[in-house]
Amino acid sequence: MPLIQTTVPLLDLTAQYEPIKDDVLAVIKEVFDSKVFILGPKVTQFEAQAAAYCHVNHAIGVSSGTDAILMALMAMGIGQGDEVITAPFTFFATAGCISRVGATPVFVDIDPHTFNIDPHLIEASITPRTKAIMPVHLFGHMADMDAVMAIAKKHGLYVIEDASQAIGSHYTNSKGEVKWAGSVGDVGCFSFFPSKNLGGIGDGGMITTQNSHLADTLIKLRNHGAQERYFHEMVGGNFRLDAIQAAVLSVKLPTLEEQHRLRQKNGAYYNEHLHSLVTIPFVKPGFRMIYNQYTLRTPKRDALHAWLDQRQIGNAIYYPLPLHLQKCFAHLGYEAGDFPESEKAALEVLSIPIYSELNTEQKQAVVEAIKAFFN
């Protein structure tokens, strides 16, 4: 009897929106009827909701996660001649923004277990030009922020959390305090790209901070550096969040905890069935992983990638080329071999479907396809 093959997408936005479709369409209509399309009450309402969720004093809605990072650097006055330390195993925007403000990205290798910046390697890369450290909470697992903050404090550096993949992620520190992504460093940068755990229906982002002085500066930067219209205290940009995005995000935020819970359940299912075949994601004790991605490792990655593609089982390589080896950063003078853990990760990682709405049959199909490959 021929097998009926289940195909599984990497992400299913139709399934995600089905249960909330009416609520989403209703708020879109509200925004349309109000004709307040940019900033305004919907954005203010979302910012208050998001600040409470992220356990921060200030949340500022902006145009994208990339712009959040760019604005954070601008607000700190980081530019020409300055260096910012970050990891090379991340999405391009992390380092792209450092370059865009005229500063130099200085890469530090990752911890191979969490894929996040290895704090033991940071101090050796600090110079008199270093202004900030930008840890990335990759795939939904926070970086070792206690260690990063201690180094930053000792050397008088800013810390910018790239929390684009980590809204709702947290860890418990040595004092027993729960620390949420975006609440630990000077600022946290979030993305509402549709594939993130909290995604909009277009581009959007957010900056969080506990510092009211930085918050004031960021609010001005978002609107061409002007508090009062047409009077510019600094050079900013158009980094504003649309009311429609904010309204939709306000509908979705109350469902986020349930989304995380379902992703964690899917992750546990994969862990149980795949641990003997591949290296499963590592979650540090005391850390809450929100599984923006479920990223496994195997030396047979390329063959597994092709195998799953052939069977229409969603999978993707995040990320295939570390940033120190990108053509646009050739002038920085890095070479293959400089960051062995990042380079090895780039050859071995594969992300498989983890979205909340995956059903049992789909999860089984993913597991069966991977098992069949290893047999």
Ligand X SMILES: *Cc1c(COP(=O)(O)O)cnc(C)c1O
Rounded to a whole number of angstroms, the minimum distance from the CB of residue 72 to ligand X is 12
Rounded to a whole number of angstroms, the minimum distance from the CB of residue 119 to ligand X is 18
Concatenating the DSSP letter of every residue in 250-285 gives HHHGGGHHHHHHHHHHHHHHHHHHHTTTSBPPP--T
Q: Among residues 359, 257, 248, 254, which one has the least CA distance to residue 21?
A: 248
Query: For residues 136 and 246, which CB has a smaller minimum distance to ligand X in the complex?
Result: 136
Query: For residues 66 and 104, which CB has a smaller minimum distance to ligand X in the complex?
Result: 66
- Give residue 70's region: left, alpha or beta (phi > 0; psi -120 to 50): alpha
Query: For residues 140 and 373, which CB has a smaller minimum distance to ligand X in the complex?
Result: 140
Query: For residues 117 and 365, which CB has a smaller minimum distance to ligand X in the complex?
Result: 117
Query: For residues 250 and 362, which CB has a smaller minimum distance to ligand X in the complex?
Result: 250
Rounded to a whole number of angstroms, the minimum distance from the CB of residue 100 to ligand X is 12
Rounded to a whole number of angstroms, the minimum distance from the CB of residue 163 to ligand X is 8
Query: For residues 95 and 365, which CB has a smaller minimum distance to ligand X in the complex?
Result: 95
Kindly list the residues in this chain that would bind ligand X in the complex (CB under 6 A).
64-66, 90-91, 93-94, 136, 162, 164-165, 191, 193, 203, 205
Q: Count Cβ atoms within 10 A of the Cβ of residue 8 and give its class: 0-12 exposed, 13-18 middle, 19 or more buried.
A: buried
Rounded to a whole number of angstroms, the minimum distance from the CB of residue 48 to ligand X is 21
Q: Is 248 helix (H, G, I), strand (E, B) or coil?
A: helix
CA 304 to the chain's CA centroid: 25
Q: Among residues 38, 46, 92, 52, which one has the least CA distance to residue 69?
A: 92
* Nearest residue (beta carbon) to ligand X: 65
- CA–CA dist 236, 221 (Å, integer): 4
Strands (E), the chain: 58-62, 83-86, 104-107, 130-134, 158-162, 170-172, 178-180, 187-191, 205-209, 287-288, 294-297, 349-352
Rounded to a whole number of angstroms, the minimum distance from the CB of residue 136 to ligand X is 5
